[in-house]
Amino acid sequence: MLTYSSTRGGGDKINAAKAIIKGIAEDKGLFVPSEIPKLKVPVEELAGKTYQEIAEIVIGQFFDDFTEEEIKHCVYSAYDSKFAAEEIAPIAKIGAEDPAYILELYHGKTAAFKDMALSILPYLLTTAMKKENETAQIAILTATSGDTGKAALEGFADVPNTQIIVFFPEEGVSEVQKRQMITQEGENTHVFAIRGNFDDAQTGVKNIFADGDFAQDLLEKGYKLSSANSINIGRLVPQVAYYVYSYAKLVEVGEIKAGEKINITVPTGNFGNILAAYYAMEMGIPVNRFICASNENKVLTDFINSGIYNAEREFHITNSPSMDILISSNLERLLYHLSGMNGDEIKAYMKSLDREKKYEVSGEIMKKLQCFFGGFADQNKTLTAIGEVYDNNGYLMDTHTAVAYSVYKDYVRETGDKTKTIIASTASPYKFAAAVSHGIGLDIEISDFHYVESLYDETKVPVPEGLKDLDKKEIRHKDIIEVSRMKDYVWNSLK
């Protein structure tokens, strides 16, 4: 059986169920598997399987303390008609010559790729609680740059024995994202805007997790904390499934041959999505290069090019707000794997990041990092990409996907590499309706909600169900709080 332990070397080796319940390790490290399992079914045989069948295989191999029935229950409860696309993650091919394959990960309830994992996490967590005879209620703490919050709220709303608490940056999310969160229904949902950015929210949440006394006090009230951020391994592993699925799908429809290497481009913030792609490669999916696309907050671009991670820089609020992040948590997991699972080394990097806001990785890690290409697109390039793809291909992308597309184009120009490429498309264009409308040259509207209407009138791309009539829903969460008070609000939310 696989065991899970901290990237920073501390604490015990535990099973997947316990790691999912805990969310983050006691030494603030992230849980990683003792090894990344090799796919037990060869790629040729995966071609033709449904999303659910592939998810069962992938998730079952990582969470091998769950029974087959338990995994089946989780997978089929999560990936059902909640998704607006029967394939769950359909692929759009754009461009006749050197086509790109856009993997649409946003057909879940909240119209962003976070649904891919957050529709299953509540089932994985409640199953884990049963397996471990957990008697406490689980309180999910979540920092969000806009999309995780809503997807977590939607996933956990009214799930028995759970509470869900979300912190989002007051000024750092789109109008649609904010409205989705503050109108959330469900007796166990708690949503707070913070005066700060995403990194402040994420650091605040991590500090609450690391506060042993607070955990003890909460336990006396009957609560344990867990996380719905991609620091939770229960978030990350379900995301591996769609990379395996998309590869199998391209083989099935004859776009690639089994065994042929592909590139994978991912619009990146917290590094969870692209790390899932790396895990898929380690499982056996043939990958040539990972293209890591950033917006103006290009800390990862600089890191991949220099080996120096430097978070001491200006923070930009951009038109791809879900990637406005300077501390990419999941990079820690990649470094752990690239270091040959050296917890002490990772602990030293993270200590340096805490104290000096930066660290430099070893030459050994730098060498292995070469399978990643890093690039970025500023806001103008992002809008240009939306306009170009819409004009040339009649295909509408959101701003995050456009960042990825733009960096992918730069990569091809720079390297001449013609390897077939999957581009992860992470949100519906309607979530960022204002920016997308500007990208395709529509007139100025008064609010995001008017943009949704005019964008539909122009493009006839269907509006996701969950985004319709958002502006007419009752606002249920009104608190705006200081970062320093996050802990108090957690305490008061848990009765």
Could you please report the per-residue DSSP string of 362-381? -HHHHHHGGGEEEEE--HHH
Q: 92 vs 215, which CB is nearer to ligand PLP?
A: 92
Among 17, 21, 57, 112, interactor with ligand PLP by CB under 6 A = 112
Q: How far is the CB of 175 from ligand PLP (least distance, A)?
A: 15
Q: 33 vs 272, which CB is nearer to ligand PLP?
A: 272
176 binds ligand PLP (CB under 6 A): no
Among 60, 155, 267, 374, interactor with ligand PLP by CB under 6 A = 267
Q: How far is the CB of 396 from ligand PLP (least distance, A)?
A: 14
Q: Please, what is the Cα angle at 424 between 419 and 430, to 5 degrees?
A: 140
Side-chain half-sphere of 415: how many Cα atoms within 13 Å? 16
Hey, what long-range contacts does 128-132 have (CB within 8 A, 24 or more apart)? 128/16, 128/17, 128/18, 128/20, 128/21, 128/66, 128/234, 129/21, 129/161, 131/17, 131/65, 131/66, 131/70, 132/17, 132/18, 132/21
Q: In this structure, what DSSP letter does residue 438 have? A: H
Q: Is 410 strand, coil or helix?
A: helix
Q: 285 vs 292, which CB is nearer to ligand PLP?
A: 292
Among 7, 162, 230, 437, interactor with ligand PLP by CB under 6 A = 230
Cα gap 158→154, rounded to integer Å: 9
114 binds ligand PLP (CB under 6 A): yes
Cα gap 239→270, rounded to integer Å: 14
Q: How far is the CB of 211 from ligand PLP (least distance, A)?
A: 24
Among 190, 400, 409, 438, interactor with ligand PLP by CB under 6 A = 400
Among 162, 273, 301, 382, interactor with ligand PLP by CB under 6 A = 273
Cα gap 174→399, rounded to integer Å: 11
Q: 427 vs 486, which CB is nearer to ligand PLP?
A: 427
Q: 65 vs 324, which CB is nearer to ligand PLP?
A: 324
Cα gap 450→437, rounded to integer Å: 11
Region of 245-253, 266-274, 460-468, 486-494 interacting with ligand PLP (CB under 6 A): 266-274
Q: How far is the CB of 294 from ligand PLP (least distance, A)?
A: 9
Q: Is 189 strand, coil or helix?
A: strand
Q: How far is the CB of 400 from ligand PLP (least distance, A)?
A: 4
Q: Considering only residues 38-97, where is the footprint of ligand PLP by CB under 6 A? A: none
Q: 189 vs 268, which CB is nearer to ligand PLP?
A: 268
How far are the Cα atoms of 296, 304, 335, 344, 348 from residue 362, in angstroms, in the given order?
26, 12, 10, 13, 12
Q: Considering only the C-alpha atoms of the chain, give the largest distance between any 2 of them, rounded to a whole number of Å.
A: 63
Q: 150 vs 438, which CB is nearer to ligand PLP?
A: 150
**Site of interaction with ligand PLP (CB under 6 A):** 112, 114, 147, 230, 267-273, 322-323, 400, 426-427
